[in-house]
Amino acid sequence: MKKLLVALFVLCAAAQAQAQDKAQLDKAKAEGKASFYANITAVEPIIKAFTTDTGVTGEYTRISTSKFVATMITEFEAGKLMADVVQAPLPVLDLLKEKGVLATYRSPAAAGYPDWTKKDDKVQIFGIEYVALIYNKEKVKAADVPKRYEDLALPKWKDKIVMPNPANHATTISWLIGLKENVFKTEAEWRSFLQGLAANKPMFVASFGPTPAPIESGEKLIAISMPKYIVTKAPAPLDWARISQPLMGTPRAIAVASKAPHPAAARAFVDYWLSKKSMEMLAKDVGEYVLAPGIYPPIDGIKEAKVIAIRELSDAEIQKWGAEFKKIFDVK
């Protein structure tokens, strides 16, 4: 009897939820479109699928990380924020949250996500911008592939490394700090690793974007880069070093804007975004590491890898460490 009641209750709740969903979708359709401001790239297929599946037009505005906060705040303060949904690295959304740009919304689609991804009732984390050692599998012998991060400091990699500039690239700075906090036992070990890496004179580029090209062409052999390129740049001879330590990255998060012109559409979009279908597309087509349970990018070995989110660093901390790294890596 009790069971029956529970079942009935669940059924009712489900029906009610469905009814709610339906109501929300109708409202969203009436609003017509959902504007999506994001720093994540290559998500056009998801936007398209959203439009087809829901009948609400998805509109994707790509804003690079360095201009994200400036653009949002400028529009917000002028009362012209056109975004319904905002996606950016977690620290960016936290900044926006402080300014009151984000609305409260807990998506039912996030139900299966790990608890730590639901930081509060505004921001939902859905992925990790994971960083790994990416090498040219045609030029690097299997035996030479690093087994641990420390191997990157070996002299054999001198003039063979490419990485984003650790003096200013926020994700790289955070990643190096992540190594200190999650991988190395003592700060001294970490510092000697940094010095070894610096002595190998890595080539600095502005961001992760330009890191795979020199590896593909053989100009450099190994990069501090992102495994997603193995998917997006196939059939390039890229592979990632299966190291014994965890992979790390900055969390990617999503939220509804507080003054969203299309609030129902915004919620519908977030629900859709967090759904299994979207996350599968994100993993499969873009190679992203997503936190929806059981979904992995089609990269050999990633399923087994431990991927952790780096602690959020404040801008002051990033700048302080950027200056520090500038000194450490300033090898002429």
Partner 1 sequence: MDSARTRLTWLLIAIVGALTVCPVVMLVLGSFSEGLTAFGHFTVDKYVQAYTDPGFFEVMVNTTIFVLASSLLSTVLAIFLAYLNTRTDIPFKFLFKIISIIPMMIPHLLFTVSWALLLNPSNGLINLGLKEVFSLDSAPLNIYSMWGMILVEGLLDLPIAYLIIAPAMASFDVALEESSRVCGAGTWRTLLRITLPVLRPAILAAFILGVVRSLASFAVPSVIGMPGRVHVLATYLYEMIATGFATDYGKAAAVGMSVLVASVTLIIVYRALTAESEKYVTISSRGFRPSVIELGKARMPLFGLVSLLSFVLIVLPVAVLIYTSLVPYSMVPSAKAFSMMSLKHWTDVLNDPISLLSLKNSLFLAVVGATLGVILSIFVAYVIVKVKTRAAGVLESLSYLSFSFPGIVIGVGFMWFFVQTPLYATIWALLLGYIATYLPYGIRPMSSAFVQIHSHLEESSLVCGASPLTTMRRIIVPLLIPGIVSGWILMASMFVRELTLSVVLSRPGTEVLAVQILRFSEDGLWGKLSALGIVMILISTTLVVMATLVGNRFKAAQG
Query: Contact residues for partner 1 (CB under 8 A)?
Result: 35, 41-42, 44, 59-62, 64-71, 73-75, 77-78, 80, 82, 89, 91-92, 95, 159, 165, 167-170, 173, 203-214, 216-220, 229, 232-233, 235-237, 315-316, 318-319, 322, 326, 330, 332
Least gap, CB of 140 to partner 1 (angstroms): 14
Q: How far apart are CA 231 and CA 255, in angstroms?
A: 27
Q: Which of 310, 270, 275 is nearest to 112 (CA)?
A: 275
What DSSP line would sit under 268-311, residue for residue?
A: HHHHHHHSHHHHHHHHHHH--EE-STT---S-TTTTTS-EEEPP
Q: Which two tokens stand for residue 151?
A: 């191997």
Residue 186 class from Cβ within 10 Å (0-12 exposed, 13-18 middle, 19+ buried)? exposed
- 37 vs 150 by CB, closer to partner 1: 37
Least gap, CB of 313 to partner 1 (angstroms): 9
- 3 vs 327 by CB, closer to partner 1: 327
Pairing of strands 33-38, 57-62: parallel
Q: How far apart are CA 56 and CA 268, in angstroms?
A: 9
- 115 vs 330 by CB, closer to partner 1: 330
Least gap, CB of 186 to partner 1 (angstroms): 26
Least gap, CB of 262 to partner 1 (angstroms): 14
Please work out, in degrees rounded to the nearest 5, the angle formed at the alpha carbon of residue 266 by the alpha carbons of 28 and 284. Answer: 110
- 32 vs 218 by CB, closer to partner 1: 218
Is the distance from CB of 43 to CB of 286 less than 8 angstroms?
yes
> Tokens 């991927």 sit at which residue?
307
- 75 vs 280 by CB, closer to partner 1: 75
Least gap, CB of 241 to partner 1 (angstroms): 18
Least gap, CB of 317 to partner 1 (angstroms): 9
- 21 vs 144 by CB, closer to partner 1: 144
Least gap, CB of 99 to partner 1 (angstroms): 9
Is the distance from CB of 203 to CB of 192 less than 8 angstroms?
no
- 150 vs 285 by CB, closer to partner 1: 285
Is the distance from CB of 198 to CB of 151 less than 8 angstroms?
no
Least gap, CB of 219 to partner 1 (angstroms): 4
Going by the DSSP 8-state scheme, the letter that residue 216 receives in this structure is H
- 31 vs 150 by CB, closer to partner 1: 31
Query: For residue 282, what are the contacts with CB-CB under 8 A and spacing of at least 6?
Result: 43, 46, 127, 288, 290
Q: Which of 165, 74, 88, 155 is nearest to 123 (CA)?
A: 88
